Structure 1
């Protein structure tokens, strides 16, 4: 019934030389695709037994999926796959394993659950397969009751085993439906008071099944032939009017397609009778895109994602641009690609990366953005040879990102939740002005009579709101949590998840919160900032981040309140710089006093974080007003 290559790409019949089988990818069957990392090793893979050589091709064992973020999530967390099955049948579940990482036993021990029952505990692939890089399979038998139409396969840590690693691993999965009487057909149970048909002999049943299958095959073939011819005629008519390209996108009730105005005012007849105008930018010809990227020169690639690659380019007027090209051979990321078009078509703000135009020729899907000369915020924190950002530039970058996010949350009628806030999605222009990017996972916020949006969990581990993960209920406060992780990343200049560190340091959010609660955040401060920051501003900065990471969303501040306090942090630091004038003996209390004195002259006192809610005790924020005004100006309101 199912045959999956777990953690790898699809295997077509020609790659399975023994039995010519197709092995699907597993991500669509996972409850949470991000629950497992994909790992690969294409060298030195062998079978643990000669009898296994026809069970699965070696390609299955060259990839696997292991648990993500095991040190952060609850130990009850599992990688989970869900399959629809026919009730009241027996099933054989065949799991394929190959240890690709550890070269000693007892380094990865886990449990296997089938339909919420423990099928195996203390499961050690290295021991069972006889070493590393050895393909091995294990069969399990399960009986599905008449009331169950779902089969769950789950792998999770076995903390009682005392292994060095508490994660699980799986390379492949097969589910076979077994017959008890020679009949594999499923007959719906009849309602109460209606007699069920008499059971025929197995030979008679097999005969009728064969006849029925033959008739069905002919009918299906005829139907497909008719649909193909009809579709071909329809496509021929459409081709005369529309070149091949994107399928029409429904944006705010209007349709954006290849008939869009080349100068950017893309408006067309709404299927409901109204006309809407959507600003999607200039329509580029593919020849222009090829010229701008030197025919998609690999040396110009500045980014890579599931949709494809991002190139640095230069259009005719000399403007530098970033060109995002969807992979023409893959549908991966198409939904996110279209979401980004929809979002950027209605969003304009100086702290959001701007969409310049698009191209939709020859089945290409290409978006053209403003070029951000200084790349990602993360590249200036760690992992590159770029000079470190000063404390002032770091705070200003956080303020810019907060303004962009605050506009997302408040600029539309229902607000927009970004859902993937992280330092790689905060870009810096030539003046180090920060702008939010990558809106492929964004969701429209809840309606007025709702408190959340129920949706599958998506985002990046390390930044993911644990409340959203547990409940699958998305709110604006999920962005606030992710932004809090960004703030600690700015302070510490290290990856949010680093499995090479000691156990208590693997997760940045947990590690930084431990020091913040002790009011000793400077202990883990980026050493390159030593002596060049205002201690009082760092203290306030840590308090903001701490409030953002509250366990419950209702206890976290809004982005507008976070923005206010970040601006206050910047004022503290600037006051310290002015008064200090190179004298490192200047104290934080002096900086605070200088700032209060300056604000008193303007008739305004410093804000403070409410200890219970983390909210500003002021009712308005300068930052939020500024963001809203920027957005209104761009929309022409």
Structure 2
């Protein structure tokens, strides 16, 4: 009996030891697998953002020379960009996003040997290009001595390759040949907002159109903040980076300084705003508007802008809030304009009717006599 009890105890003990050992092994396997998956996720996130640079070179795979036709290998100071572009191609980032690689010769021909200059920025010159396919595009050329431009080139290709919104300027392609790096965009025929605000030779933007531009820009930024994954902070919003299409609808451009969100307020620099004296907002309105704006709408827009520069971050409105307010203001403006046009149309109609009555020719005297005689005759009968 004792031998059976001893055997049972030994068997149970062995089973417990084996069970504990298996549990420990399973635990370490789970931790190992989890650690590897986390490393893989971190790597994939890095691949989806701006490439990591180490000692002046990007941590991507070298692209073969055949990617650039018969061009000779690049000098060592261009290897960083080649590595990075090669990594993009091997990861199918370019093809998946629909960004095309343009040939240098085609762009040279389309810009008449780069003589169709339409703008100049920190990144480099911008040219208008009429492609053989009939499409018109804007070509932004990286200044060869610009390190900042190289970073902007990388950032814009990475970001605009995956960001698509009607209020963002679309990147349609790039070129990296003959030691030149270019970005090809949809052509915005009306130029920048800055040119319309400060160039008196161009058509004046009325108040309603200015509110519409503000709404378009807000919608583009709302997409970057709330619609993009991960969110994107532009960091360089200004009138020269807002472009207008043929219909005067605004799009946000120049993403070279953008960053994927790490903490919104780390990238915002506040402008000091002097509120002493409490001067009416209409005192700082563009004098060229000549008072042709709704004071109530102006105060609402100014109040909204003032909230945006509040020194306490949590008190600033989100881009979604801004879109809602501007949409309401614009809708109210349209309703007022429609009502005013209706009243003017009725006033014109009344004026026309009065003119017709005044211009109606009087009945000749002999006609009136004949009319009376005929009436008398009929009564006699």
TM-score of Structure 1 vs Structure 2, range by shorter chain: 0.5 to 0.7
1:604 is matched with none
Q: Deviation at 1:238? A: 4.8
Cα pair distance change 1:276/1:425, threshold 3 Å:
closer
1:64 is matched with none
Cα pair distance change 1:340/1:419, threshold 3 Å:
same
Cα pair distance change 1:350/1:269, threshold 3 Å:
closer
Q: Does 1:413 align with 2:229?
A: yes
Cα pair distance change 1:238/1:568, threshold 3 Å:
closer
How far apart in 1 are the matches of 2:291 and 2:64?
Answer: 67
CA contact (8 A) 2:140 2:184 kept: yes
1:249 is matched with 84
How far apart in 2 are the matches of 1:570 and 1:576?
Answer: 10
> Which structure has more RCO (C-alpha within 8 Å, separation ≥ 6)?
2
Runs of 5+ in structure 2 lacking a partner? Answer: 1-61, 75-80, 345-381
Q: Deviation at 1:241? A: 6.5
How far apart in 1 are the matches of 2:67 and 2:103?
Answer: 17
1:510 is matched with 273
Q: 2:182 aligns with which of 360, 366, 372?
A: 366
Q: Deviation at 1:277? A: 5.7
1:305 is matched with 121
Aligned-partner SS, 1:278: helix
CA contact (8 A) 1:313 1:321 kept: yes
How far apart in 1 are the matches of 2:145 and 2:304?
Answer: 45
Cα pair distance change 1:289/1:578, threshold 3 Å:
same
CA contact (8 A) 2:190 2:245 kept: yes
After superposition, the CA RMSD in angstroms is 2.8
Q: How does 1:220-369 map to 2 (within 5 A)?
A: 238-239=64-65, 243=71, 244=73, 246-249=81-84, 255-257=87-89, 268-269=90-91, 278-297=96-115, 300-369=116-185
CA contact (8 A) 1:280 1:355 kept: no
How far apart in 2 are the matches of 1:371 and 1:413?
Answer: 26
How far apart in 2 are the matches of 1:547 and 1:326?
Answer: 37
Q: Deviation at 1:520? A: 1.3
1:559 is matched with 319
How far apart in 2 are the matches of 1:398 and 1:310?
Answer: 25
Aligned-partner SS, 1:294: coil
1:571-627 CA deviation, whole Å, 9 max, x = no partner?
22222222233989xxxxxxxxxxxxxxxxxxxxxxxxxxxxxxxxxxxxxxxxxxx
Q: Deviation at 1:547? A: 0.9
State the number of aligned residues: 274
CA contact (8 A) 2:94 2:161 kept: no
Q: How does 1:112-127 map to 2 (within 5 A)?
A: none
How far apart in 2 are the matches of 1:582 and 1:519?
Answer: 35
Runs of 5+ in structure 1 lacking a partner? Answer: 1-234, 258-267, 447-451, 454-467, 482-506, 585-637
Q: Deviation at 1:532? A: 2.6
CA contact (8 A) 2:126 2:138 kept: yes
CA contact (8 A) 1:534 1:572 kept: no
CA contact (8 A) 2:94 2:100 kept: no
CA contact (8 A) 2:88 2:94 kept: no
1:443 is matched with 259
1:570 is matched with 330
How far apart in 1 are the matches of 2:212 and 2:233?
Answer: 22
* TM-score for both structures, normalised by structure 1: 0.40
1:402 is matched with 218
Cα pair distance change 1:335/1:241, threshold 3 Å:
closer
Aligned-partner SS, 2:169: coil
Q: Deviation at 1:390? A: 0.8
Q: Deviation at 1:374? A: 0.9
CA contact (8 A) 1:536 1:572 kept: no
CA contact (8 A) 1:283 1:357 kept: yes
Q: 1:430 aligns with which of 223, 246, 259?
A: 246
Higher strand fraction: Structure 1 or Structure 2?
1
Cα pair distance change 1:412/1:336, threshold 3 Å:
same
Higher helix fraction: Structure 1 or Structure 2?
2
